[in-house]
Amino acid sequence: MEDEVFITKNSYSSLYRFLDERVQDFNFEKKLIISNQEAIKHAVIEGIGISIMSKVSVEVEIKAGLIKALEIEDYNLTRDINLVYDRRKYITPAGHEFFQLLELEI
């Protein structure tokens, strides 16, 4: 796997920093930096290299048979994300429903 081109976002992205902290054992000599997640998926589809992405972000491509996903064992690749919003703004009923869907309390 280390002979593959590793396709990732730049070092300023949260995903790059997250992976850099958790997956230090991988030593990819060839890297391709692409700033857009859709472009990364297309590069993988075209056979340019491999990438690490969330399963949700590639589920359409997996179902279409364009991308094959492999589980990465022995690594904790879960991360926390935050929903941010302007507290001064009115939250619509649809917004409240969305927060409930995410199990958030405002």
pLDDT digits (tens, 9 = 90+) for 54-102: 888 899 999 999 999 988 777 777 777 778 888 899 999 998 888 888 8
**Shortest CA distance to 12 belongs to which of 20, 24, 1?**
20
User: 71 vs 40, which has greater pLDDT?
Assistant: 40
Highest-confidence segment of 4-13, 19-28, 46-55, 58-67: 58-67
Residue 4: per-residue pLDDT: 87
C-alpha span between 13 and 70 (Å, rounded): 23
